[in-house]
Amino acid sequence: MALHITEECINCDVCEPQCPNQAIYMGPEIYEINPDLCTECVGHFDEPQCQVLCPVDCILPDPEHVEDDNTLMLKYQRLTGATAPTKPLDES
């Protein structure tokens, strides 16, 4: 699922530059996340970088944009033009 920023945001500017999909932007009062661009860092990192760095823990899953890992990977591929990761060959 995409993430969203709650009203507890203090506009510290830490999250925006960390987003590899440029999904985070300054809204009218606080930072916001475009759910069409948010992949929760799937394809880029092991965990959402905005959540890792947020000093007030105000970035949460967005219940209005529920997506599983496969859907997030497909979104990542669409946004970046990347192909699906290939499984390593069994060397035995």
pTM confidence score: 0.84
Model confidence over 3-27: pLDDT tens digits? 999 999 999 999 999 999 999 999 9
Backbone angles phi, psi at 25, to 5 degrees: -145, 160
What whole-number distance in Å separates Cα of residue 61 and Cα of residue 44? 18
Model confidence over 12-71: pLDDT tens digits? 999 999 999 999 999 999 999 999 999 999 999 999 999 999 999 999 999 999 999 999
Domains of the chain with bracketed CATH: 3-80 (3.30.70.20)
What whole-number distance in Å separates Cα of residue 53 and Cα of residue 88? 32
